[in-house]
Amino acid sequence: MAQHGTSKPPSMKGLFAASFIGTSIEWYDYFIFGTAAALVFPTLFFPEASPEAATLASLSAFAAGFLIRPFGAAIVGHFGDRIGRKSMLVLTLILTGGSTFLIGVLPTYAAIGIGAPLLLVSLRLIQGFGVAGEWGGALLISTENAKPRQRAVYGSFAQFGVPVGVLTSNLAFLALSGLDDDAFFSYGWRIPFLLSAVLVVVGLIIRMRLSEPPEFAKAKREKTVIKVPFAELVRRHPRNLILGALAAIAPPAIGYAVTVYMLTYGTRVVGFDRTTLLTLILASTSVWILAIIGSAILSDRFDPKLLYAIGAVTAVIWPLPMFALVNTGSTGLALVAFLVAAIVQGIMAGAQGGLFTDMFDLKVRYSGIAVAYAVGATVAGAVTPVFPALYAAYDSSTPIALFLTALGLVSLVAVLGVRRVATAQDTEPATVPAGAPER
């Protein structure tokens, strides 16, 4: 049995706290921007444009955070593979939380003109840079402390952060629903952003107590880390890097369609009020979390690749029925649409941690999963402005649904081609030789 050193491994409870709580804070920060991009920013930061153009500009600002993510993932992943997982988790929390707080004190277009949207986009880029490396580090701090048959379950700790981020961000805005429009647009929208400062302090306290995973700590002691992990990644794992990025598109594409675009589409096109939609999305997050748990357990029992592929199939099937149900204007049917969408995302999210950890060897693992995940999320998020553009062009939700279906199909084909470096037959994470070829 391989020896990882004499330090006591962290408990499951400690890993859960470090991975789940920190990631939840990061995604809270990220999703309050998305919510504000749909509800607030068109009016306050792009008031000179028509309602349609303002929405497009606001969602483009949201998408800007995705364009920086591959670059951020490569940089953070490089130092995560060179220096350590812990230091990068602390850095990403500071970058994301700090930029979120500053958005809460930004002057609007009425105060400083064109400078307001420029500052908004700049802070969004910093936020996106931070989030780019967050998921990979949070995932590895858990999975690298797990046995192979537990990797999906441990990896799900980081995955809970996304639905909990949606939950808390929507709760924050829902709590402000009692304000009239003047109060909400004057100061109310700033409160969720300012609250992030408190959450970041909590996250930093938890993450500063972390130790490096035994496998990585052993590699540092033996000086087997490499100088340029990304170059090694591209040389040894090009297939998995590309296919992993394509496979990562579907979950956030479905997620952003519901949590961001539906807030605009549901209110302006279908006629739902803002509070109703926030409540429906809020209700779906509990199902999302349960789906992640169920999928992670089944992934460890069977095969994370199989579970991910099943989730990708649902991502292909569900967009058309989802929009059809929302278009009825029925609160009950819209709830069904969002609940099933939550299951679609949850199936893939529950399998993703185990699948992605096994796709890259230790020397390049942080870089590999961070870049693959970031590129997939960039594609999914950067195309968010396509949704209102498609509706404006065709006056129908069908092209949007078909576009989502196409993204799901890309992810399905990609995951079927993924090869894993580590397998469930390994008795310990460290038994996979560094630099082992994909198989």
The answer to whether the CB of 25 falls within 8 A of the CB of 199 is: yes
Q: Is residue 41 part of a domain?
A: yes
Residue pointed to by tokens 């999305």: 281
For residue 393, with 0-12 CB atoms within 10 Å meaning exposed, 13-18 middle and 19 or more buried, which class applies? exposed
The encoded tokens of residue 196 equal 């992030």
Residues 6+ apart with CB under 8 A from 383: 63, 253, 403, 407
Q: Is the model's pTM score more than 0.85? A: no
pLDDT, one tens digit per residue, over 228-262 is 888 899 998 999 999 999 999 999 899 888 887 88
Q: What is the dihedral of CA 248, 200, 384, 343, to 10 degrees?
A: 50
For residue 7, with 0-12 CB atoms within 10 Å meaning exposed, 13-18 middle and 19 or more buried, which class applies? exposed
Q: Is residue 39 part of a domain?
A: yes
pLDDT of residue 422: 54
Q: Is residue 438 part of a domain?
A: no
pLDDT of residue 35: 81
For residue 13, with 0-12 CB atoms within 10 Å meaning exposed, 13-18 middle and 19 or more buried, which class applies? exposed
CATH number of the domain at 19, please.
Answer: 1.20.1250.20
Q: Is residue 2 part of a domain?
A: no
Q: Is residue 107 part of a domain?
A: yes
Distance, CA of 278 to CA of 170 (rounded, Å): 6
pLDDT of residue 3: 42
pLDDT in tens, the chain (439 residues): 344 444 555 667 777 777 777 788 878 887 888 788 878 899 899 888 887 788 888 878 887 888 888 999 999 999 999 998 888 989 998 998 899 999 999 999 999 999 999 999 999 999 889 888 888 888 888 888 877 778 888 888 888 888 888 888 878 888 887 888 889 889 999 999 998 888 888 888 888 887 888 878 888 888 888 888 888 999 989 999 999 999 999 998 998 888 878 888 998 899 998 888 888 988 898 899 999 999 999 999 999 999 999 999 999 999 999 999 999 999 999 999 999 999 999 999 999 988 998 899 888 999 999 999 999 988 887 777 788 889 989 999 999 999 999 999 999 999 999 988 854 334 444 444 444 444 4
Q: Is residue 437 part of a domain?
A: no
Q: Is residue 135 part of a domain?
A: yes
pLDDT, one tens digit per residue, over 389-418 is 899 899 999 999 999 999 999 999 999 999
The encoded tokens of residue 104 equal 């809460």
The answer to whether the CB of 81 falls within 8 A of the CB of 365 is: yes
Structural domain for 401, as ranges: 12-431
Q: Is residue 361 part of a domain?
A: yes
pLDDT of residue 10: 62
Give a three-class secondary structure readout of the chain: CCCCCCCCCCCHHHHHHHHHHHHHHHHHHHHHHHHHHHHCHHHHHCCCCCHHHHHHHHHHHHHHHHHCHHHHHHHHHHHHHHCCHHHHHHHHHHHHHHHHHHHCCCCCHHHHCCHHHHHHHHHHHHHHHHHHHHHHHHHHHHHCCCCHHHHHHHHHHHHCHHHHHHHHHHHHHHCCCCCCHHHHHHHHCHHHHHHHHHHHHHHHHHHCCCCCCHHHHHHHHCCCCCCCHHHHHHHHCHHHHHHHHHHCCHHHHHHHHHHHHHHHHHHHHHCCCHHHHHHHHHHHHHHHHHHHHHHHHHHHHCCHHHHHHHHHHHHHHCHHHHHHHHHCCCHHHHHHHHHHHHHHHHHHHHHHHHHHHCCCCHHHHHHHHHHHHHHHHHHHHHCCCHHHHHHHHHCCCHHHHHHHHHHHHHHHHHHHCCCCCCCCCCCCHHHCCCCCCCC
Domains in the chain, number:
1
